[in-house]
Amino acid sequence: MKPPRFTYEAPSRLDEVLARLAQHGEGARPLAGGQSLVPAMNLRLANPGHLIDLNRVRELRGIQVLPDGRIRVGAMSRHAELERSELLRERIPLIPAAMRYVAHEAIRQRGTIGGSLAHADPAAEWSGLCWLLDATLELASEGGTRRLSAVQFTQGVYSTALEPGELITAIEFPAWPQQRRWAFDEVSRRRGDFAIAGAMCTLDLDPEGICQHARCVLFAASEAPCLLDTQALLGRALTIQAVERFAREAACTLSCLNDQHASADYRLELAETLTARVLRRAAQI
């Protein structure tokens, strides 16, 4: 398959990229890793008249610690970079661990965090991770910069809050407490395939084992990540029975996808099982 005809530009500065996006309007698409956009173009599911390549823009790369302890990740940082980052292994170990579930090594070498978030495939790991970690996205256009929480940004299947001419430039993650526990798991037909359902959580337990913080996100089972209400877990010691009851009740609130990959009922069962599994794993019970 060959894509429709398009013009190709590869600016080296962010201001040039934003100018091109403003100039060409809705007919322009930024090209990050190309792992989703290029196949869509080849299948004639996407037909941008202008392709703006971001790979020469150094301003969009890098992982750094901000003065207040937040981690700032450039939107063109690749999955493989984040998987191998010693800084992230020390500061937010969940991210490198989750990257091992993203597709295959060749795709992780090209795919980017910004491209994945902008594509907003419900089966992709990044939207769920950003919801779980309470990340903030920096969006830029020729008219200026704005910031949105990840929860505000992802709106549904392939749907985001990006406006015409706007680009994700960076993602910022709050500082990670040293005592934080975490777990991640997903189910796919084969390792590297898109997830059918996935779950991830973070927990803070005090020295007596009482839960002080709990955050849990499901992804791939529904049209957008689902941030579960974990109030019932706070202020108590986590037991297997309490975790399984929470997972069962949380699953009842879901509206799951029903497609060629899995039925809604199967996804609902997976969501309950995976929620209990990651909470037990994080709590070590």
Q: What is the CATH number of the domain that holds 38?
A: 3.30.43.10
Residue range(s) defining the domain that contains residue 21? 7-53
| Residue whose C-alpha is closest to residue 271's, from 182, 198, 203 | 198
Mean per-residue pLDDT of the chain:
96
**pLDDT (average), residues 83-91:** 97
204 lies in the same domain as 151: no
The count of structural domains within the chain is 3
134 lies in the same domain as 204: no
233 lies in the same domain as 271: yes
Q: What percent of the chain has pLDDT over 90?
A: 95
pLDDT the model gives residue 150: 98
- Region of residue 88 (left: phi > 0; alpha: psi -120 to 50; beta: else): alpha
Could you give the 3-state DSSP secondary structure of residue 54?
coil
Domain endpoint, select from 173, 200, 217? 173
Domain endpoint, select from 173, 190, 206? 173
| CATH number of domain containing 74 | 3.30.465.10
- C-beta separation of 117 from 101 below 8 A: no
86 lies in the same domain as 190: no
193 lies in the same domain as 272: yes
164 lies in the same domain as 212: no
28 lies in the same domain as 102: no
pLDDT the model gives residue 52: 97
pTM over 0.75: yes
State the Cα–Cα distance between residues 187 and 130, nearest whole angstrom.
19
| CATH number of domain containing 267 | 3.30.390.50
Domain endpoint, select from 173, 203, 224? 173
Kindly tell me if the per-residue pLDDT of 1 is higher than 80: no
39 lies in the same domain as 65: no
Kindly tell me if the per-residue pLDDT of 178 is higher than 90: no
State the Cα–Cα distance between residues 215 and 279, nearest whole angstrom.
10
128 lies in the same domain as 203: no
